[in-house]
Amino acid sequence: MKNVYAYIRVSTKEQNEDRQILAIKKLKIEGIKIYIDKQSGKDFKRLMCTHNPGHVKI
C-alpha cells in the first residue's frame, strides 16, 4: 500500500480543526498519517508542498 497523508490546515491557532479530522476519519483509510498546520502566511513552506513518488495526499 502507498503512504497516505492527510493535510489539515487552519489559518490561526484559535481556529478548530475538529471538523476536518472527523471528515478524514470517515474515509476509514488504514494507516493514514494526519498532519495539522496552524501556521498563517502564504509564503510559509509547508510540509505537504512537496511530492514524493508513491505518496498519496488527501
What are 12-54's pLDDT values in tens digits? 778 889 999 999 999 998 888 888 887 766 655 655 555 566 6
Strands (E), 1-58: 3-9, 33-37, 55-57
pLDDT of amino acid 40: 64
pLDDT at 9: 83
Nearest to 40 by CA among 7, 5, 2, 12: 12
**Which sequence spans correspond to the domains of the chain?**
3-57
Question: Considering the entire predicted model, what is its pTM?
Answer: 0.63
Residue 26: per-residue pLDDT = 95
